[in-house]
Amino acid sequence: MKHRSQHITKAREGIPSTSSGQAPDPPPNRWILQSSGSKLRLIHSRWIGPFVAIWLLGASCLLVPVVYAQGGVSFTASVDKTTLSLDDQLTLTLTVEGQMRSVPEPRLPALEGFQVYSSGRSQQFSLVNGQFSASVAFNYILQPMTVGKHSIGSAEITLDGQTYRTQPIEVEILEGRVPTPTPPEQAPAAGAPPQLAGQDLFVEAVVDKDEAYIGEQVTYIFRFYQGVDLFGADLRYSKPETTGFWTEDLPPQNQYYQVVAGRRYLVTEVKMGLFPTAVGDQTVGPASLRIEGFFSGQNLKTDPLTVQALSLPQEGQPADFGGAVGQYQVTAWLAKSEATVNEPVTLSFKVSGIGNVQTVPEPPWPELESFRSYEAKSTTNTSTENYKVQGEKTFEKLFIPKEAGQYAIPPFRLTYFDPEAGAYHTAETESLALTVKPGAPEGSPVAPGNQQQAVTLVGRDIRHIKAAPPVLRDQGQHLYHNGLFLSSWALSPLLVIGAVLYQRQRQRLRQDVRYARLRRAHKMARKRLARAKKLMKGQDSKASYREVARAITSYLADKMNVPAAGLRLEEMTRELERRGADQQTVDRLNRCWEECDLGRFAPVAGTPEAMVSLLAEAEEFIVSSEGLKWAAK
């Protein structure tokens, strides 16, 4: 009998609860799953401020598509929300679809008021009847920098000399924090171990069944229980080792409240589909979650799980069974019902349904003696609706008729094992009819996608060999004796190494937001101080003071990898001291902060001399802060 398995690991000590022992309900959080090699990263959104009083446009993630299409190609721009706060992020997706073999990088508009980071691309290509079609999505993370209404302008892409553009998208950036929907409440966990009582944070890993047939889906669920507010801590989730399984991620993540051992927790679930590939006990290794806060770090780890993989029944196994496991339907069709001799005809066979369609084997093709055939090709589309791996796999084979006549294509058969029913089933297509008429003579087939072209005359006669060569001249020293040439060979490995390191650096800057903020902090601070100096010369002293305050706050926020909005002087001071700053650096921060507050809020404008002194003090603070150890551990 199959049953549910559960393993729970207590959190280590490290993040205290409230003085009453019962932490207040944590705010609903939003987690974004990002892949980096074999690791996944959970990015924690900022908590909700109590001063936000209006529910803004149903803060669930709106999808706003804007499409511009012509010539069989569509260029789509979409955002995941149209209203957000300064400490939130916006995902911009540009999608190109159509018949094309290659897709260049689109050109982004001037995104004033946003910091832009590339978040990679996803793509899918297919070949049907010799025609390529593609769907490529380019993803970008936009970090707002100023409040107000902003317009994301038209992006552009050029394909085959034709330029495609998207329509602008309007978004609104608000002060404070935008509320997110409250996760639903679930019933208390049945049979939860009593040792969990009082734990602030813990994780567990479960599978929906302890036994499964080879090729049957086992759903692995990682749960993170949060009983306290993490205040913007950085969370990094590492997948378990899954040797002996074929794996598929199962988005989206799920959040809800649940009572465990008498305490209410916010639960975040990350799911993964496992398909056993070998008989016997298969082990799923421990998954881990690294929590990095301002002042402490914590590692949470689950226990390993064991799944018993059962062999498929031998009794009643059909002779034509090829290893497909799931619940499938099959269809077959011809690209055309009439053709001429030596004209290519594509025969297609599609398998669709619930199961790991990627492992469905190629079917036995009919033996047609009056046809020549070529190697079959396949395309696969998968989805994870309702956390079940499913999809369709299409096989295509090209046949060229050699003789005219009426032909019947026999039915295709697929025998598969249904793990739910524990039995073998056979799905069968209908037979197909093809009429072949006399056409081009034997030996002159038309290849798919190619057209006959006229022969171009490139010469009128044989080029004769000259009996007597012209006068030969000394060309000087051989190239391989040249010192400059030899030096260039010696430098080649260094150039290659430099190019590799440069490419890795660029890739890390695109993918690792925390690293990118750390690297850009000094440059952005100097730009803001230069802007403050320009405002001072324009006699706008209050704006100049605001820009200095923003330069210091944004600089430290980038270094700490936290949102700049709401960052207080006490937090910045504690972080400087934790990073080993001397008292002189801390005093500079306090003086700059006091001068900025005085200049911004005092009824009398500050003097130019005071502003010059403040700019010099701010520059000295930033230079001295650069020497601290800001790199993430």
Question: Residue 59: CA atoms inside 13 Å, Cβ hemisphere, count?
Answer: 22
What is the third-level CATH fold of 64-174? Immunoglobulin-like (2.60.40)
Q: Are strands 324-334 and 338-340 parallel, antiparallel or unpaired?
A: unpaired
Q: Which residue has the tokens 């793509």?
A: 123
Going 211 to 214 to 219 to 222, the CA torsion angle's sign is positive
Task: In whole angstroms, give the CA distance from residue 505 to residue 507.
Answer: 5
pLDDT at residue 6, as a whole number: 41
Question: Residue 226: CA atoms inside 13 Å, Cβ hemisphere, count?
Answer: 25
Higher pLDDT, 19 or 125: 125
Mean confidence (pLDDT) of the chain: 77
Could you tell me if 340 and 437 are in contact, meaning their C-beta atoms sit under 8 angstroms apart? yes
Gap between the terminal Cα atoms of the chain = 47
Confidence of residue 188 (pLDDT cuts 50, 70, 90): very low
Element (H, E) at 434: strand 432-437
User: Which tens digit of pLDDT belongs to each residue from 449-503?
Assistant: 444 454 455 555 566 666 666 666 666 666 666 777 777 777 778 888 888 887 7
Task: Give span(s): CATH 1.20.120, the chain.
Answer: 512-625
Collapsing DSSP to helix, strand or coil, 320 comes out as coil
pLDDT at residue 62, as a whole number: 35
Task: In whole angstroms, give the CA distance from residue 580 to residue 624.
Answer: 11
Mean pLDDT of 194-202: 68
In angstroms, the Cα distances linking 21 to 9, 193, 262 are 20, 18, 12
What is the third-level CATH fold of 512-625? Four Helix Bundle (Hemerythrin (Met), subunit A) (1.20.120)
Burial of 493 (C-beta count, 10 Å sphere; 0-12/13-18/19+): exposed
Q: What percent of the chain has pLDDT over 90?
A: 29
Q: What percent of the chain has pLDDT over 70?
A: 72
User: Which tens digit of pLDDT belongs to each residue from 32-72?
Assistant: 344 333 344 444 433 333 333 333 333 333 333 333 334 47
Going 60 to 206 to 276 to 354, the CA torsion angle's sign is negative
**What's the token pair of residue 65?**
């598509």
Higher pLDDT, 38 or 581: 581
Burial 437-448 (b: 16+ CB within 10 A, else e): eeeeeeeebeeb
In angstroms, the Cα distances linking 33 to 45, 136, 238, 546 are 12, 20, 11, 36
Burial 618-631 (b: 16+ CB within 10 A, else e): bbebbebbeebebe
Task: In whole angstroms, give the CA distance from residue 239 to residue 256.
Answer: 21
Q: Looking at the predicted structure, is the pLDDT value of residue 430 above 90? A: yes
Cis omega (within 30 of 0) for bond into 193 = no
Mean pLDDT of 429-447: 74
Task: Give span(s): CATH 2.60.40.10, the chain.
Answer: 5-43+182-310
Could you tell me if 548 and 600 are in contact, meaning their C-beta atoms sit under 8 angstroms apart? no
User: Which tens digit of pLDDT belongs to each residue from 234-252?
Assistant: 888 999 999 999 999 998 8
Going 121 to 122 to 128 to 130, the CA torsion angle's sign is positive
Kindly report the CATH class assigned to 324-437: mainly beta
Task: In whole angstroms, give the CA distance from residue 230 to residue 276.
Answer: 37
Task: In whole angstroms, give the CA distance from residue 407 to residue 409.
Answer: 7
User: Which tens digit of pLDDT belongs to each residue from 83-123?
Assistant: 888 777 788 889 988 877 667 888 888 888 888 877 666 66
pLDDT at residue 85, as a whole number: 83
Higher pLDDT, 168 or 463: 168
Considering the domain 5-43+182-310 in this protein, what is its CATH number? Answer: 2.60.40.10
For residue 380, count other CB atoms closer than 10 A to its CB. Answer: 15
Task: In whole angstroms, give the CA distance from residue 107 to residue 121.
Answer: 14
- Spell out the SS3 assignment of 29-55: CCEEEEEECCEEEEEECCCCCCCCCCC
CB-based contacts of 21: which residues, under 8 Å, 6+ apart?
A: 198
Q: Looking at the predicted structure, is the pLDDT value of residue 179 above 60? A: no
- Does the pTM surpass 0.85? The reply is no
Could you tell me if 225 and 154 are in contact, meaning their C-beta atoms sit under 8 angstroms apart? no
Going 186 to 190 to 193 to 197, the CA torsion angle's sign is positive
Task: In whole angstroms, give the CA distance from residue 207 to residue 387.
Answer: 13
Nearest to 220 by CA among 182, 145, 270, 281: 270
Task: In whole angstroms, give the CA distance from residue 537 to residue 201.
Answer: 53
Collapsing DSSP to helix, strand or coil, 97 comes out as strand
pLDDT at residue 463, as a whole number: 62
Higher pLDDT, 486 or 296: 486
Task: Give span(s): CATH 2.60.40.1510, the chain.
Answer: 64-174
**What's the token pair of residue 447?**
């290849």
